[in-house]
Amino acid sequence: MKVTTFGEVMMRLSTPNFSRFPQATQFDINFGGGEANVSSSLAILGISANHVTRFPDNDLGLTATNIFKKFGVGTEHIIYGGDRIGIYFVEKGAAMRPSKVVYDRVNSSFATLQSADFNWEEILKDTTWFHFTGITPAISEAAFQACLEAAQTANRMGITVSADVGYRSNLWKWGKRPNEIMPQLIENCDIIVCSKGDAADMFGIIPNDEKGSFKSVCKQITARFPKVKKILNTKRGQISASHNTLLGRCWDGTQMLETEAINIPDIVDRIGGGDAFMAGYIYGELIYKDCRKALEFGVAASALKHTIEGDFNLVSVQEVEAVVKGDVSGRLKR
Amino acid sequence: MKVTTFGEVMMRLSTPNFSRFPQATQFDINFGGGEANVSSSLAILGISANHVTRFPDNDLGLTATNIFKKFGVGTEHIIYGGDRIGIYFVEKGAAMRPSKVVYDRVNSSFATLQSADFNWEEILKDTTWFHFTGITPAISEAAFQACLEAAQTANRMGITVSADVGYRSNLWKWGKRPNEIMPQLIENCDIIVCSKGDAADMFGIIPNDEKGSFKSVCKQITARFPKVKKILNTKRGQISASHNTLLGRCWDGTQMLETEAINIPDIVDRIGGGDAFMAGYIYGELIYKDCRKALEFGVAASALKHTIEGDFNLVSVQEVEAVVKGDVSGRLKR
Amino acid sequence: MKVTTFGEVMMRLSTPNFSRFPQATQFDINFGGGEANVSSSLAILGISANHVTRFPDNDLGLTATNIFKKFGVGTEHIIYGGDRIGIYFVEKGAAMRPSKVVYDRVNSSFATLQSADFNWEEILKDTTWFHFTGITPAISEAAFQACLEAAQTANRMGITVSADVGYRSNLWKWGKRPNEIMPQLIENCDIIVCSKGDAADMFGIIPNDEKGSFKSVCKQITARFPKVKKILNTKRGQISASHNTLLGRCWDGTQMLETEAINIPDIVDRIGGGDAFMAGYIYGELIYKDCRKALEFGVAASALKHTIEGDFNLVSVQEVEAVVKGDVSGRLKR
Amino acid sequence: MKVTTFGEVMMRLSTPNFSRFPQATQFDINFGGGEANVSSSLAILGISANHVTRFPDNDLGLTATNIFKKFGVGTEHIIYGGDRIGIYFVEKGAAMRPSKVVYDRVNSSFATLQSADFNWEEILKDTTWFHFTGITPAISEAAFQACLEAAQTANRMGITVSADVGYRSNLWKWGKRPNEIMPQLIENCDIIVCSKGDAADMFGIIPNDEKGSFKSVCKQITARFPKVKKILNTKRGQISASHNTLLGRCWDGTQMLETEAINIPDIVDRIGGGDAFMAGYIYGELIYKDCRKALEFGVAASALKHTIEGDFNLVSVQEVEAVVKGDVSGRLKR
Amino acid sequence: MKVTTFGEVMMRLSTPNFSRFPQATQFDINFGGGEANVSSSLAILGISANHVTRFPDNDLGLTATNIFKKFGVGTEHIIYGGDRIGIYFVEKGAAMRPSKVVYDRVNSSFATLQSADFNWEEILKDTTWFHFTGITPAISEAAFQACLEAAQTANRMGITVSADVGYRSNLWKWGKRPNEIMPQLIENCDIIVCSKGDAADMFGIIPNDEKGSFKSVCKQITARFPKVKKILNTKRGQISASHNTLLGRCWDGTQMLETEAINIPDIVDRIGGGDAFMAGYIYGELIYKDCRKALEFGVAASALKHTIEGDFNLVSVQEVEAVVKGDVSGRLKR
Amino acid sequence: MKVTTFGEVMMRLSTPNFSRFPQATQFDINFGGGEANVSSSLAILGISANHVTRFPDNDLGLTATNIFKKFGVGTEHIIYGGDRIGIYFVEKGAAMRPSKVVYDRVNSSFATLQSADFNWEEILKDTTWFHFTGITPAISEAAFQACLEAAQTANRMGITVSADVGYRSNLWKWGKRPNEIMPQLIENCDIIVCSKGDAADMFGIIPNDEKGSFKSVCKQITARFPKVKKILNTKRGQISASHNTLLGRCWDGTQMLETEAINIPDIVDRIGGGDAFMAGYIYGELIYKDCRKALEFGVAASALKHTIEGDFNLVSVQEVEAVVKGDVSGRLKR
């Protein structure tokens, strides 16, 4: 049982505490990426996981690789080349002040990869589940191409394929619009994460019932992409930068499962919360083989991620299960 | 369009995180002062601003000057001399434990200034708005004298004059009581910030209607000081050291405008909140030329200040306007 | 008036901010122990206090001693020997993620003390109040023996004896079960802190009325241990790792006094909260000689402890009294 | 009297203390660039200075601008646009382990400037001295073009022009070789910094006397570029990463002036040492109007730079003059 | 080609900068051990390496494992159990003040291992070289036993065996003296690191020629332990805590090879220097298959280790080779 | 055997590492004073010591007191009152850049003491040795008066009196010149520290032999002040801010004892070095009762102080004795 993910990893440089950019004299260093956060979180939960990406062949690429090794993520299919590691700068918000991200990922080693760099049959050997996100095809044509080949190869090899189709408006600069591209990728997917907004941006699908329901969107998606069996979505209640709520939904083709909303006060770091949900959901599907349990595990894992600095979800299965069982008391563990 | 402020700047030394004084092994260094916080916040909002003060001619005075330069505040009328920069020490509270300030400002370079050091006609050239606070006249007779000359000169030059008359009981040690002094200053003001308590302490004015209303105080003030057109006030709901609410009021001579209360949970640093309100209000008057809009901008700016470490309000106009429009969700900005 | 406490002191190594263990590159250093936290908190409140323990004769033992000296705790009866200072590692939780403690106290200098090391008549000279906890007898047979001799000597000398009987399941490895041991110690106590669960674990006493009330437990305890005059207990509402509530109860032989619950949001450090309650209660008994006042002082002191990093309760009498009087507004003290 | 410089400014991210890249969890933030270091050092020495560059219109560009303002460098001709600020990563060496720089400047806002962005007549108004380095033409064709226009305009306006022609082998990727480009620039210069190696790389000039002397190189340079009056050079003795020596030389057309070598043990930060020399030399020329004095001032300023973290040379004229006078005792100043 | 090492790993807690223990408020966290430092350094140099040890099954054991993974050391034969990870505390010296180490390793998970826990045939499969030190048999009888079985199994499997026999007087508390134990281990070794002092302590061998030469000791060792082919030794010139010199020697059975002494000023961290030498030597033997080259590589690697914080030698082959070639100039690498 | 010292204690705020003032965002907090450094260093060496001073009755005065308690210095005769604790700001130099001190001690609680605040008979009870410095009389008339009364009382009580007469040109602002004042104090001294320069400044004594020898100064001093038995002096070789040498001299009335110069490279913190010498000398006199030994102990103690951050000399007797015996190798202590 092995999960393989493919996507860009960025160095994340965040100002300490609540410093704004012009105040900071230091950056805290982390690494993350929408797909890598999934494989790292799975590795930390004890699932064999492998991340495929491209790093520059310099000290920063080496350092990034080390971090994945540290948390047990397989790094043997990482390739090296290109000019630079993508960077994103983070300033943490509080109360009514939002956290802020400044991207500096143009021309990264990942963006300048060539699809021929990857032998997917070789890479996906022994893989049970392949995961990517809508960020990857948005980065460059070659990244899209590599992603498509990966998904198609995974399909041929009988591997479960999932995608978080989240639309990022500040990417997609290489010439194609998401709706020209994403459908080809989604055709190969078994499970997707997709919001109402994403469906509109990516597939031009909008609700067609009176209530404008998400369910009506899901039905259209499964009609258009018959391979897609489940559509996941999280609904974030945004009370403040420091206080959110979160619930998860899953359209399984027949019904819309929905968890209770979990309260997330005193947020430590919100970034990577969606990826932690995905990792938790995959864990649940692989171990419990039950969609509702997977959904609950995903939401609980995501809630815990909000209490941890950095993109990776450093939690154990027992910790997530305690939250699933409703223990959110945070009672001291001696 | 230029705002000039006059007042003492202190070095602020605060214990990191929530350390109490006997625990601290380091102090974080910031600089601030009731008037300087107004000019720095205005400069950061893009308004031309100038601060007038007196620093010692040593490395600490130089460092303080550099900080104002960094944020674009004009420093060309700062004068140098005297023995020391005033200092205040801060210990940050949480929940039911208050933040604590220990002042060490006696004998500062500002306190020992001479009123002849300042050529106000020269300094106020091109100035649109002059602002001072009730702290300045409380520091020393010469500081009062300089402040009075500034206000009178501003008046003669047709410059709008504002004052935050807040009473600080631990100052006023040079021989006069506030009510002997403040009236002469307020005579020259167009706009003042003044609470019910301040009115009693500074002018001996107490409510004269049955409800003991602030409105009745305002009416007496404008009767006594005909130049004063508007009286501002903020009302802070003090739920805990980490959680406040804030609303703003303005008596414009006819009616009492009042904003909605804004919720300020998860406070990062409350100091400078009042000055951020004043800066926001001045911004609003200068740009929107609308009292209600200015009031709302001031309250929103003040709320944001509570999420930022240090005395200066490091926020952009867009960020304040988002809060004015009611977006307090703190949703991540990518 | 002097309070003497006896028990193990550990070096506490905590990851900074909210770092999980695998993320941390530094530990913050503090020292603490269930009894030492009581004497340090009392010394900080201005009560003469003395702590008795055993440290290794090395730089870490010296450093630990220095910390007690720093806060005015008498250290003249600390003895030196053995291999090591016990350590506990702390990772701070947030929201639904609990704080976590990893103990490393086996074979500590305290655990390997010999009861003959202590001359209690000498040590307790001038002592008014002797306090210990259920941790000490749980550590080793000799620690139990020394504690018993201390309590018996204190009794003979007419010194008030108190004990916090809290049961720690991860100790008690030296061969005896708590219920074989604790009764001998409690026989010598005037005041104990004991929850329903502790009573069951330590004395095999369970509620014997229909409601399963704590009062019925207290009655059985005072029946069995006639010297015990008061039974204290705190009830913690565990909303999250960052938000608790706390109330105190005292069975004084006739009635169950109970304070209002105090709200404790935005917790800085919860560890030592129970010891701060005990110290506050002892302060109240010694100074106010009134059980209800002591209880209220204890709860307020404990609440304040949650806003302070480290095991020691760095608060003044005035600060506690403000909270007792209901001022939990955390209003800035200038 | 005003000095204007033109060139790229990078964000410098350095690992704290002596951490290697894979160890670091934080980067210290500084800003610097071969030309900007000259103007900032001059501003700190009290000379009016102005830096011209291009920053991205984001928080990092704003932060960089603030730093120049802080130290009094004129920023009014900085333009904003493009994708990113160039970055360089630094790991500090010790003893036999070299410091290491990883550049990440491709595609920076400076590299993608357009020469039409700059109105040099306007920018250079009031300028006495214009300085650039061989890095600028190496970055992009447009940067070369802008630099050439600046130098030609300066010439027309009778402004002294200096250049540090240092060859950086990891740049020059835009299609031209240095020797195709640099001569056009140097034609406009009065003073250049140029080593024997640079002369070979940039102009194809090699020593033509038996000793292979630098003097013979200088003679050829002045023959080829008649406007060049002085050729400066520093000679670094590289004892270890922590210990260097430095002397300065100047060919003034007739003779080779040479300072004594200054000993630089216990280096704090070597980066920017060459720029500090240039700034010191310019200061000396402007103030003392004496080549030897300027040379000595430059070498002393450079030596002091090695004791200061960051690219900017935070020293006063008095401090440099003390070293010029031979006081290298570092005796405590009370 | 794979190197396997066996031995205790301790958590190293060092005071920052040059703080003495009573000053420190934080400890920097590293991990290290005489053998683990060898495998980690080899892994960093690109040699496949594996470390065998026993950690507690808690967050600290997990964290320690992660660190080895991070640097590419195989951790699949680490076993988990026992009470605690050994700790050592470090205070860094300067000039005439020595660095100081306080050990707290009694009762560690490694010390309480059982020799049956390890299946050496399985563990050593594919191993080319097995390395241990004289620390391991000094810790406990079972550790000695496990080490002996490992060495004997390695011998049977034709694996090269090396040992650093360094005598640590503060260990050896389990009942046997080194000279009763070490000979059995050394019988199985091909290469040992052994000083004159070690030879006396461990084997009772003292020089038997007039000069008291090390060579005469080596001859006796090889006579007594015929399997031993090479005896290595480093000679440290101890100028101060911040300045050492180092040379390496190797008796190859016929002659005494000796490197030049390398100067090591401005020491960053001296701990692990001996292990870095051993790792470097092993690298040299495996890659160059030349004793002199291996010796030079070992000494250069060790010198570089002194410039790096922590026990692991974070250097590349190119960096070591530069020093071997005599480049100790520390010239900035751009 | 008890040593009592009297003098001002300042809060020392130093920029971290080698930051210059305009770079610093934090200050490290220490406390120190010429006399307090002597008592603290003696207490750390195990000698009973007591410091007498005046602190403000606020959190900073409390924190300062705690620090003395921490290191075992008696604080029972510290009095509380006045406005503020004196502060001095420190910026650490390196190589040819000097460390820099900015004083901010005017109007401190010590400067505004009243001599009647101190009951010297009570304070000096059980005291063996009283020590003060030339800083105290320089601060204010009352401080001089209190110092004089202390010295006279000590004399009457048969207590040894020592003084470090060092002249600080930036003090002495209260109206008298040192030579009007110091003689009265020195009349009461048994042992003084005095350089050639101090003798001229304080007593108007200049060498009266041809060589201009210090010996000739000493003879004149003892002639003028017959109670003075010994005159101490240290001679600092100032190679750079990071490298000094130090030797000690003592005129014992008959001969000039002189130690060898000790080499002090890689200085960590030079401040307090002279006070560490005095404390070491007093220790030597009290314990060894031998002037040469005391001198050597003083110089060794002072050398070690240079390796320790902060004003207090955190060294043990064994550590000093090792240096006295010539072990300056800094060899790692395991």
- Chains with 3+ CB–CB pairs under 8 A to D are A, B, E, F
Contact C100 E59 (CB under 8 A): yes
Out of D19, D241, D271, the one facing E330 most closely (by C-beta) is D241
pLDDT tens-digit series, residues B41-100:
999 999 999 999 999 999 999 999 999 999 999 999 999 999 999 999 999 999 999 999
Nearest-Cα residue of chain D relative to residue B67: D70
Taking all residues of chain A, what is their mean pLDDT, rounded to a whole number?
97
> What pLDDT, on a 0 to 100 scale, did the predictor assign at position B280?
98
Record: contact F268-E18, CB cut-off 8 A: yes
Beta-bridged to residue B91, according to DSSP, are: B100
Say if D267 is an interface residue toward chain F (CB within 8 Å). yes
Residue B143 is which amino acid? A
Question: Could you tell me the pLDDT band of residue E222, with boundaries at 50, 70 and 90?
Answer: very high
Strands (DSSP E) found in chain C: 2-6, 10-14, 26-32, 48-52, 54-55, 79-80, 87-91, 100-104, 129-133, 160-164, 191-193, 230-240, 243-251, 256-258, 262-264
Q: Which two tokens stand for residue B206?
A: 């107490």
pLDDT at A115 over 90: yes
Task: Decide if pLDDT at E223 tops 90.
Answer: yes
Collect the ranges in chain C with pLDDT lower than 70: none
Please indicate if any CB of chain C lies within 8 Å of the CB of B25.
Answer: no
> Do the Cβ atoms of B70 and D67 come within 8 Å?
yes
- How confident is the model over A193-215, as a mean pLDDT? 94
DSSP B23: G
pLDDT digits (tens, 9 = 90+) for E78-136: 999 999 999 999 999 999 999 999 999 999 999 999 999 999 999 999 999 999 999 99
Query: Read out DSSP for F198-246?
Result: HHHHHH-----STT--HHHHHHHHHHH-TT--EEEEEEEEEEETTEEEE
Choose the closest CB to C22 out of E63, E85, E100. Answer: E63
Any E CB within 8 A of D97 CB: yes
Nearest to A330 among C93, C103, C271 (CB): C93
Angle at F325 between CA F322 and CA F328, to 5 degrees: 60
Q: What is the mean pLDDT of residues D265-287?
A: 97
Interchain CB distance below 8 Å, D26 and A25: no
Q: What percent of chain B has pLDDT over 70?
A: 100
* pLDDT of D334 strictly over 90: no
Q: What is the pLDDT of residue D261?
A: 98
What's the CA gap between C296 and E215, in Å, rounded?
79
Residue B169 pLDDT: 84
Check the CA dihedral A289-A290-A294-A296 and report its sign. negative
Cα–Cα separations (whole angstroms), residue A127 to C286, F313, F318:
69, 62, 64
**E70/A67 CB distance under 8 A:** yes
Give the per-residue pLDDT at A47.
Answer: 98
Residue D332's pLDDT is what?
Answer: 92
> Which H or E run contains F141?
helix F141-156
CB contact under 8 A, C97 and A308: yes
The predicted pLDDT at position C190 comes to 98
Provide the 8-state DSSP code for A203: I
> Residues of C with CB below 8 A from F71's CB?
66, 69
The reply to whether residue B240 touches residue C329, judged by beta carbons under 8 angstroms, is yes
Give A224→chain C minimum CA distance, Å: 40
Comparing E328-332, F2-6, F40-44, the range with the smallest average pLDDT is: E328-332
From C331's Cα to the closest Cα of chain E, the distance in A is 30
Rounded distance between C-alpha atoms, residue D125 and residue D104, angstroms: 33
Confidence at B155, pLDDT banded by 50, 70, 90: very high
User: How many angstroms away from the CA of A119 is the closest CA of chain B?
Assistant: 33
DSSP symbol at A74: B
Asked if D70 lies within 8 A of B72 by C-beta distance, the reply is no
CA distance D27 to chain B (A): 19
Q: Do C70 and F69 touch (CB under 8 A)?
A: yes
Q: Is A268 on the interface with C (CB under 8 A)?
A: yes
Q: Give the pLDDT confidence score for residue E227 in this predicted structure.
A: 97
**Best mutation site among E31, E40, E59, E69 for testing chain A: the one with the most A CBs within 10 Å?**
E69
Cross-chain Cβ contact F239/D303 below 8 Å: no
Touching partners of C (3+ C-beta pairs < 8 Å): A, B, E, F
F134/chain B closest Cα distance in angstroms: 22
ipTM value > 0.90: yes
Q: E258 CA to chain C: closest CA distance, Å?
A: 39
Test A18 with B309 for CB contact under 8 angstroms. Answer: yes
Between residues 173 and 232 of chain D, which touch chain E (CB distance below 8 Å)? Answer: none
At residue F168 the predicted structure's pLDDT band, cuts being 50, 70 and 90, is confident
What domains, with CATH codes, occur in chain F?
A: 2-322 (3.40.1190.20)
Closest CA to E26 of E41, E16, E12: E16
- Which chain D positions have a beta carbon within 8 Å of E306's beta carbon? 95
pLDDT of residue C167: 86
Q: What share of chain F is helix, strand, coil (3-state, %, to 5)?
A: 35, 25, 40
**Tell me, what's the pLDDT at F128?**
98
In which band, very low, low, confident or very high, does the pLDDT at B250 lie, cut at 50, 70 and 90? very high
Tell me the pLDDT tens digit for each residue of C271-290.
999 999 999 999 999 999 99
Query: How many other CB atoms are found less than 10 A from the CB of residue B73?
Result: 25
The token duo for B18 is 């929530």
Q: Where are the alpha helices (DSSP H) in E170-272?
A: 178-186, 196-203, 214-224
Find the mean pLDDT for residues E299-304: 98
Mark yes or no for CB contact A28/D26 under 8 Å. Answer: yes
Report the DSSP beta bridge partners of residue D247: D235
Per-residue pLDDT averaged across E242-263, rounded? 97
Provide the residue type at A77 as one letter: H
pLDDT digits (tens, 9 = 90+) for D199-253: 999 999 999 999 999 999 999 999 999 999 999 999 999 999 999 999 999 999 9
Q: Give the sign of the dihedral formed by CA C102, CA C105, CA C107, CA C111.
A: negative
- In terms of C-beta density within 10 A (0-12 exposed, 13-18 middle, 19 or more buried), how is residue F76 classed? exposed
C69: chain F residues, CB-CB within 8 Å: 69-72
The answer to whether residues E241 and E289 touch, using CB atoms and an 8 Å cutoff, is no
E strands in chain A: 2-6, 10-14, 26-32, 48-52, 54-55, 79-80, 87-91, 100-104, 129-133, 160-164, 191-193, 230-240, 243-251, 256-258, 262-264
CB contact under 8 A, D69 and B69: yes
Predicted TM-score (pTM) of the model is 0.97
Q: Which of residues 283-322 of A touch E (CB under 8 A)?
A: none
Please check whether residue C228 is in contact with residue C222, taking contact to mean a CB–CB distance below 8 angstroms: yes
A325 touches chain E (CB under 8 A): no
Q: Quote the pLDDT of residue E168.
A: 87
- The pLDDT of residue A167 is 86
Residue C66 touches chain F, beta carbons under 8 Å: yes
- Given this model, what pLDDT does residue F169 score? 84
DSSP C3-40: EEEE---EEEEE-STT--GGG-SEEEEEEE-TTHHHHH
CB-CB contact of E116 with E152 (8 Å): no
CA neighbor of E271 nearest in space, from E301, E312, E235: E312
User: What 3-state DSSP class applies to D280?
Assistant: helix
Strand bridging mode A26-32 / D26-32:
antiparallel
In angstroms, the Cα distances linking C39 to C43, C44, C74, C319 are: 6, 9, 9, 18
Predicted local distance difference test score (pLDDT) of residue B318: 98
What is the rounded average pLDDT of the residues B295-316?
A: 98
Give the whole-angstrom CA distance, residue B254 versus residue B251: 7
* Encoded tokens for D207: 């020593």
CB-based contact, F76 to chain B, within 8 Å = no
Task: Quote the longest CA-to-CA distance of chain D.
Answer: 56
pLDDT of residue D221: 97
- Categorize the per-residue pLDDT at E167 as very low, low, confident or very high, splitting at 50, 70 and 90: confident
Q: Return the closest-CA partner of residue E225 out of E165, E284, E171, E279.
A: E165
Statement: residue E207 has pLDDT above 90 = yes
Could you give the maximum distance between any two Cα atoms of chain E, in Å? 56
D160-172 exposure pattern, b = at least 16 Cβ within 10 A, e = fewer: bbbbbbbbbeebb
CA angle C160, C165, C170 (to 5 degrees): 145
pLDDT band at B315 (very low <50, low <70, confident <90, very high): very high
Give the dihedral sign, CA F234/F235/F241/F242.
negative
d(CA D245, CA F328): 28
Of F98, F238, F242, the CB nearest to D333: F98
Q: Residue C330 is nearest to which of B23, B96, B271, comparing CB atoms? A: B96
> In DSSP terms, which residues pair with B131 in a beta bridge?
B5, B162
CA C65 to chain centre: 19
D59:A106 CB<8 A:
no
Q: Tell whether the model's pLDDT for residue B168 goes beyond 90.
A: no
Bridge-partner residues for B164, per DSSP?
B133, B193
Whole-number pLDDT of residue E278: 98
CA distance D307 to chain F (A): 6
Indicate the residue of C22, C96, C170 with minimum beta-carbon distance to A328: C96
Please tell me the predicted confidence (pLDDT) of residue D169: 84
